[in-house]
Amino acid sequence: MADAVLGIIGGSGIYDLPGLENSDWITVESPWGTPSDQVRIGEIDGLKIVFLPRHGRGHVYSPTTINYRANIDVMKRCGVTDLLSVSACGSLKEEHAPGTFVLVDQFIDRTIAREKSFFGTGCVAHVSMATPVSPKLVDAVAAAAEAESLGYARGGTYLAMEGPQFSSLAESHLYRSWGCDVIGMTNMPEAKLAREAEICYATVAMVTDYDSWHPDHGEVDIQAIIRVLHDNAENAQRLVARVARDLPREHQSCPAGSDTALEFAFMTAPEKRDPELVAKLDAVAGRVLNRPS
C-alpha cells in the first residue's frame, strides 16, 4: 500500500496554505504546459502536502485560461494520491447559505472552451465519471468539518459554467430547475482530469452568495463575495489542517475505483499509439501504459 500524499488546490481567496511545516515553493515542469503556479510542498503532522493555487498567487488566471491538464499532471508528478479541491461557488438552494461548505458528489459540465482530457487522437481512453468523487476522502472531509464545528452539507450537484461572467437570472432559474445545489466555474474539467490521472478527488464548495435567483439578495455582489471569501479562507485552512492530521498515512483504495480508473480504459491498440502522446502521459497513465505486455 502506498503512502498517502494529500494535494490541495486552492480556489479564489486561497493562494497559500499557512501551517505547513518544512515547506518550500518549487517549480514542477509539465509536458502539458505551464501550471497555474509553483507548488508549495511541506507536511502537516508528518503527512506530505502539495498545495497549488488554482488561479496563481495574485489571482492571475481566469477560470477559462487555467491550464487544468498541467495542474493535475503536476499533482500526479508530486505523488498526490488524494486531491482536495477548495472552491468558491454560488448557492442554488435556500438551505446552502453563504459560508456553508457543500461536499458535492456530482457535477454537470457546462464549460465549452477548455481542454478536458489527457487522451485523444493516437491514444484514446474512456474513464467512467459515474462516481466522480472518492467516498473515503469525502468521509475524511466530513469528519474534519464536524470536528472543527464548520457548517457543511454532504452531497449535492455542482454546475460548472464557463464564466467569467456570473449567471443571468434565466440561467440561474434553469440550473435550479435541474436540481443543482451550487454553481461554480472551476471544478470542470478538473474533476474529469483527476479521474483520468487516477487521483482520488473531492470538492469543498464554499458558498459565497445566492447566485442571481434569490428574491431577497438580487444579483451577485462582488464586494459581498470578497467579504465571505475572507471568512471562508480561514475556515478552509482549519478544515484542511484537520483532514491532514486525521487522514490515514497509508493510501486507502477507493471503493469508487478512482485510483484504478484507467485499468480497462484504453481503446487504441498498443502498436497504433502515438509515441509523443504516450510520452506526455508518463505520469498520468504510466501505471498502465508502462506495464509489460
Positions marked active-site? 209, 211
Is 210 a known ligand-binding residue?
Answer: yes
| Coil, strand or helix at 143 | helix
Q: Give the position of cell 464586494.
A: 223
Residue 211 assigned ligand-binding role: yes
What one-letter code names the amino acid at 38? Q
- Comparing C-alpha atoms, which of 279, 262, 272, 201 is closest to residue 32? 279
55 labeled binding residue = yes
Is 88 known as a binding-site position? yes
**Quick check: 285 and 117 in contact, CB under 8 A?**
no
245 is in an annotated binding site: no
Q: Binding residue per annotation — 259?
A: no
128 is in an annotated binding site: no
Q: Give the whole-angstrom CA distance, residue 177 versus residue 159.
A: 12
Residues 6 or more apart whose Cβ sits within 8 Å of residue 227 = none
Strands 47-53 and 5-10: parallel
What is the DSSP track for 168-226?
PHHHHHHHHHTT--EEESSHHHHHHHHHHTT-EEEEEEEEEE-TTT-TTT-S--HHHHH
Residue 149 known to bind ligand: no
24 annotated among ligand-binding-site residues: no
For the annotated binding site for phosphate, the residues are 12, 54-55, 87-88, 186
For the annotated binding site, the residues are 12, 54-55, 87-88, 185-186, 209-211
For the annotated binding site for substrate, the residues are 185, 209-211
